[in-house]
Chains A and B, each alone.
Chain A
């Protein structure tokens, strides 16, 4: 009896010792502890792909941060809430979340948070097709970015390049994308470098230079595969298929389309998959 009980005692002691060895985290007041907990849960859910859950916890964190008048946390959670809401297709809520920063002139947000919020608003407006509003918000963010040493210069250039591209000015879009590519620094800038290469490729296709578009698009695909973002891989393959088709390489275009379909099916993106299947049947 005693012998059988000993391992359990040892396990309990081990568990206790493990618990004791964990350093105590000073989280301040209960409300601050709840804020940290909500932010942690939201980040974990966002990483695991549960965006609805992440939005719920970012909303809760935003509410607690507002009750604590913690400007930094209000801004961070509002921006994160805006991002997950956009991922969920809730553009109106995504825009409303940013109002906590953009429509609160009395709160003393840092310049960095203001740039992030304005940039996010520009991205949202551009995604919704509101090119004028997107240009205004991107301009605001760019003006603020120029006054400080901000890390979003390449992102801003890419947004502006997309505005130009959507406005039918591919040459200007290509110039801005090239500038964004040059300013994309370090590991963190690789995603924006790939975005810049993709926009460059799209600009060249739009300018009637499909052959010249292939190289940057392939480079973007390489980076996106390394980064492991299927949405971007799908976008690169789709653009490569377009460029190959425009360049008269039907076989190449077909191969890219097949790959797109495979990626799209794997992503369970029925809509994009159906679009590609229509293209394949042509």
Chain B
């Protein structure tokens, strides 16, 4: 009763099945290799661990970061004496970048919200942590703790603002007046600006005029110098002649001396007037010293000392 199968349909069937199974096995193996590669199963991992009294928020597979860069993950959590022993698997090549004294802390990538991570805060030692080392752990602050902290810092500032606002409220009228006066002054600025520009223009004119006069004076000086230059040779010629007349001049000198004595007598009132003028100038200067804009410039240097006055010795009952 056996029925013969058509020839060629199942030929080399075993081979075909084997090839199919092989391809499937390769695909599964490749997939598994890819997963292993992605999961870091093929990379050598070094363990670190810490103990926390409260492991709330810490999960297996949670990334472990150093400077924000993923260097491993939480591999295991075990209940231990004094809390939970959390095992970290760190990629071995990164272990040498974790110095001794480093500690772990529970953090979130974007502040209060965001993915929870274990952040490794590097220590200051130059030596790297050993494989399997126990590190310290700083638990995350809860929202209530953050709010409490904020409140503690903000309350004094709010109190000061409140105080300042109440002061402003008390002196509200004065501030309004000050602002009005300030506004008035600001409105007058264009006029002041115009006046300053006029002053600058006048000063420029005056400077030009001064320059012109200075030029003329310089010309006159040059002319005088030329005249002197011409006169010097003639003068030297006359010196010889003058020497001859010295004898005659000596006689004349005696006469001149007598005349000078008489001149001095007549000049005496003039000298007296000069003295008076000098005294008056002194008075004017003294008065100028007392004028407000100048007084500061003439103040005696008292190096911040109050006056030591003998009047204070006159006894009690003469207080200021």
Q: Which positions in A face B, CB cutoff 8 Å?
A: 7-8, 10-11, 14, 39, 43, 46, 49, 51, 76, 79-80, 83-84, 86-89, 91, 116, 119-120, 122-124, 126-129, 134, 152, 155, 158-159, 162, 186-188, 191-192, 195, 231-232, 235, 271-272
Bound-complex Cα distance A39 to B302 (A): 13
Are A155 and B308 in contact, with the CB atoms below 8 A? yes
Residue of A nearest to B290 (CB): A226
The contact of A134 among B313, B318, B319, by CB within 8 Å, is B313
Cross-chain pairs A/B with CB under 8 angstroms, 7 sampled: A83-B306, A83-B312, A86-B312, A127-B313, A186-B300, A231-B318, A235-B318
CA distance A124 to B300 in the complex (A): 25
New contact pairs (20) apart from A7-B186, A191-B311, CB-CB < 8 Å: A7-B187, A7-B189, A8-B186, A10-B186, A46-B306, A51-B320, A76-B303, A79-B308, A80-B304, A80-B305, A80-B306, A119-B308, A127-B316, A158-B310, A159-B310, A159-B313, A162-B313, A187-B286, A187-B289, A192-B310
Given the complex, which residues of B lie within 8 Å of A76, measured CB to CB? 303-305
Which B positions have Cβ atoms within 8 angstroms of A? 182-183, 185-187, 189, 286, 289, 300, 303-320
Max chain A C-beta neighbours (<10 A), residue from B286, B305, B308, B312: B308
A127 touches B312 (CB 8 A): yes
Selected contact of B307 from candidates A11, A39, A127, A191, CB within 8 Å: A191
Check A271 against B317 for contact (C-beta < 8 Å): yes
> Roughly how many angstroms separate A128 CA and B317 CA in the complex, as a whole number?
11
Chain A CB count within 10 A is highest, among B311, B312, B318, B319, for B311
Closest A residue to B312 by CB, please name it: A123
Assembly CA distance A271 to B318 (angstroms): 10
A49: B residues at CB distance < 8 A: 320
CB-based contact B317/A272 at 8 Å: yes
Complex Cα distance, B305 from A10, in Å, reads: 42
Contacts of B314 in A (CB 8 A): 127, 162, 235
A195 lies within 8 A of B310 (CB): yes
* Complex partner residue of A127 from B189, B305, B315, CB under 8 angstroms: B315
Tell me which of B307, B316, B320 has the highest count of chain A C-beta atoms within 10 A of its own C-beta. B320
Task: Determine whether the beta carbon of A122 is less than 8 Å from that of B308.
Answer: no
B179, closest chain A residue (CB): A8
Whether B319 contacts A89 by the Cβ 8 Å rule is yes
Shortest CB distance B279–A (Å): 15
Evaluate contact between A89 and B313: CB separation under 8 angstroms: no
User: In the assembled complex, which residues on chain B have CB atoms less than 8 Å from the CB atom of A119?
Assistant: 308
**Chain B: which residue is nearest A157 at the CB level?**
B310
Report the Cα distance A188→B298, complex, angstroms: 11
A194 (CB) vs chain B CBs: closest residue: B311
Closest Cβ–Cβ distance, residue A267 to chain B (whole Å):
9
Alpha-carbon separation in the docked complex, A195 to B308 (Å): 12
In Å, the complex CA distance between A46 and B304 comes to: 11
Contacts of B304 in A (CB 8 A): 39, 43, 76, 80
Q: Are B316 and A162 in contact (CB under 8 A)?
A: no
User: Which residue from chain A places its CB closest to the CB of B184 in the assembled complex?
Assistant: A7
Q: Which B residues are CB-close (under 8 A) to A127?
A: 312-316
Closest chain B residue to A58 by CB distance? B306
Q: Are A123 and B305 in contact (CB under 8 A)?
A: no
Q: How far, in Å, is A133 (CB) from chain B's closest CB?
A: 12
Kindly list chain A residues whose C-beta atoms are within 8 Å of the C-beta of B317: 271-272
CB <8 Å contact, B306 and A123: no
A111 smallest CB distance to B (angstroms) = 15
CA distance A43 to B305 in the complex (A): 9
Contact of A7 among B183, B286, B309 (CB under 8 A): B183
Chain A, Cβ-Cβ closest to B298: A187
Instruction: Report how far A122 CA is from B313 CA in the complex, Å.
Output: 8
Complex Cα distance, B311 from A261, in Å, reads 20
Nearest Cβ on chain A to B310's Cβ, whole angstroms: 4
Smallest Cβ distance from A168 to chain B, in angstroms? 16
Q: In the bound complex, do residue A89 and residue B289 qualify as a contact, i.e. CB atoms below 8 Å apart?
A: no
Most buried by A among B185, B304, B307: B304
Q: How far is the CB of A165 from chain B (nearest CB, A)?
A: 10
B189 engages A10 (CB within 8 Å): yes
Which B residues are CB-close (under 8 A) to A89? 316, 319
Bound Cα distance from A123 to B310, whole angstroms: 7
A159→B185 CA distance, assembly (Å)? 54
The complex places the Cα of A231 from the Cα of B182 at a distance, in Å, of 41
Nearest CB of chain A from residue B73's CB, rounded to whole Å: 51
Give A89 to B182 CA distance when docked, in angstroms: 44
Rounded to whole Å, the gap between the CB of B99 and the closest CB of chain A is 37
* B308: min CB distance to chain A, Å: 6
Cβ B308 vs Cβ A126 within 8 A: no
- Cβ of A137 to closest chain B Cβ, rounded Å: 11
- Nearest Cβ on chain A to B217's Cβ, whole angstroms: 37
